[in-house]
Chain A
Amino acid sequence: MSKTILVNIILVLMISCAKKSNTVVETGVHLNNITTITLKKTEPLFGRFVEKFRVSESGDLLVFSDRIQDRIFVYDREGNFINVIGERGKGPKGLISVHAFAITSNNEVYVFDLNQRLFKTFDLNGEVIKSVSFLDEAPFGPIPYEAHISNQKIITPIIESQFLLTPEKSRLLAQINLDGKVDSVFGSFDSFAEEDRHYTHFTNIAIDEEKDVVYTNLSTSPYIQAFDLSDFKKTEYFGIVSKSHSLPTKEIHPTLPVSEIKRRSVNQTSNVGLYVTDHFIIQHMQILTKEWIDLNDYSAKENILVLYDKETYEFSKEIPVEHTLGAVKNNQLYFIEDFNPDNYTIGVYEITNEKK
């Protein structure tokens, strides 16, 4: 009897320890810390970086969008400040509303300013290389921070203007040339949206350049769609309802009192990112908390990674992690370990799979 109790205590301790560490999470899949980056304080101060950031092809540069100042901050891998890109306003370098940003393989920084409908290309010195009118007449709006660049094309989830209040009826994705010409609007919303009791719908995407495939995942859906970028046709629809996935039992509608919307949203899950590595498709899921809703405190949300095998699309693992996943590049996962601008810290982890 006492042995049973002891075993139970050890099991409980092991489980709780595993949840607090990003290191070894489950048999077969490991996250190994390879470096930690603390951003050095800058002048001007940055205010609040959007959770998702970009990493250059070489992994040497980290690019962040400051939600408060609508400017782009660039740091190197040692945390040294490189530059701030963009100025407030409508001048040549001016930015009003950073809606999407990226860093290219030759270290040019792309910024889409939705307010000005301009797509600006900057060098790392902050000089404007190019500025083109972008999506000025497009009958859709792109989902923020989800524009990805692949083969000199921008792929972004969208909502068509006519379906703003019924987004589940909208087409899902757009492929746009860097000169602003829309190549194709394609795909449809995950049918899961129709049975969803939540009124918010945004879509995360990830591009597998090797396969020329874009994966999409609705914020509320456990399922993932795949579209072939050569013909824009849907090729796969896969996923499982993993154990942490949780949706409201009662409908959340915008006409409800805010207090009730808050109450019904607490402990619900939301998918906030989708990533691809050599072996996995990674769904980043967060559990909403009262602290997050009240304070907009990014660190107050719980984080879970749901892994699918990239070849077979079979569910692989669900991994609770302590920190927010901000980027994935070259099989390395970048977790934001401290959001405080005075000590902004990123842990870089390598994901390995012993079975491979």
Chain B
Amino acid sequence: MRLRMKKSSWFLFAWIAFFHGCESKKFSSYYENTDSDWKSYMERISDTKDSSLKNTILLVLKSTECSPALGELRWWDEYQSTNSDLNIQLIIIEKYASTFQAFLNQEEITIPASRDSAGILFDLALLPTTPMKVLIDGEGKIKKLAAIGAAIDPTQDTFVGSLKE
């Protein structure tokens, strides 16, 4: 077995362990946020105004995420190119504009992306950590929260499918 042994491996280990276990219990307080909370956050970090977040998938990452998360990000980028009915938005937590731009260039991402330069997301307690995805349903409720790139959610179809539940 080839080991990709970065210093972040241990954090990755912690992160995987975190996402195992009782998901709803770990995330319960974050399900109480609504599309309005997310909308006001999005307005703080970008120029977007009056855009609805209903039926939206938000992908929240840092520019330094590990390979599995980046792999899933590319999957979503491909997915949105063939599923225009679904609103997908990317939020990158990154202090520097040039790093943000280099990240988008490197990953060749076409999903509309916003930059949170100050970690406002955590101040507002919208999510506990990154990388995570947030599914907001047609009523503006948080339908599902999950890790990006985690082994427990290998098929993103499951995530999208929960919109139809």
A residues apposed to B, CB below 8 Å: 44-48, 66-69, 88, 97, 99, 114-115, 117, 141-144, 159, 161, 164-165, 199-202, 254-259, 261, 291, 294-297, 339-342
A199 and B98 form a contact (CB under 8 A)? no
In the complex, what's the smallest C-beta–C-beta distance from B62 to chain A, in angstroms?
6
Chain B residues positioned under 8 Å from A45 (CB to CB): 98, 101-102, 105
Inter-chain CA distance A115–B5, complex, in Å, is 10
Do A48 and B119 contact each other (CB < 8 Å), given the known contacts A144-B5, A295-B93? no
Inter-chain CA distance A48–B94, complex, in Å, is 10
B99 and A47 form a contact (CB under 8 A)? yes
Chain A residues positioned under 8 Å from B129 (CB to CB): 258
B21 and A255 form a contact (CB under 8 A)? yes
Closest B residue to A97 using CB positions: B4
Most buried by B among A47, A165, A340: A47
B10 and A200 form a contact (CB under 8 A)? yes
B98 and A342 form a contact (CB under 8 A)? yes
Most buried by B among A97, A200, A201, A291: A200
A295 and B98 form a contact (CB under 8 A)? no
Chain A residues positioned under 8 Å from B2 (CB to CB): 117
B residues apposed to A, CB below 8 Å: 1-7, 10-11, 13-15, 17-18, 21, 26, 62-64, 67, 93-99, 101-103, 105-106, 118-119, 122, 128-129
User: Which 9 residue pairs spanning A and B have beta carbons closest together?
Assistant: A141-B5, A47-B102, A254-B14, A341-B98, A294-B119, A200-B10, A141-B3, A254-B17, A45-B102
A291 and B119 form a contact (CB under 8 A)? yes
A48 and B63 form a contact (CB under 8 A)? yes
Most buried by B among A44, A45, A117: A45
Chain A residues positioned under 8 Å from B96 (CB to CB): 48, 339-342
In the complex, what's the smallest C-beta–C-beta distance from B59 to chain A, in angstroms?
17
A164 and B99 form a contact (CB under 8 A)? no
B119 and A295 form a contact (CB under 8 A)? yes
Chain A residues positioned under 8 Å from B105 (CB to CB): 44-45
Inter-chain CA distance A155–B7, complex, in Å, is 17
Do A114 and B63 contact each other (CB < 8 Å), given the known contacts A254-B13, A254-B14? no
Inter-chain CA distance A141–B9, complex, in Å, is 11
Given A144-B7, A199-B10, A340-B95, 8 other A-B contacts at CB below 8 A? A48-B102, A114-B4, A200-B7, A202-B10, A254-B14, A295-B62, A295-B119, A341-B102
Contact of A48 among B3, B4, B13, B99 (CB under 8 A): B99
Inter-chain CA distance A46–B98, complex, in Å, is 8
Do A48 and B64 contact each other (CB < 8 Å), given the known contacts A257-B128, A341-B98, A341-B99? yes
Chain B residues positioned under 8 Å from A294 (CB to CB): 93, 119, 122
Chain B residues positioned under 8 Å from A66 (CB to CB): 102
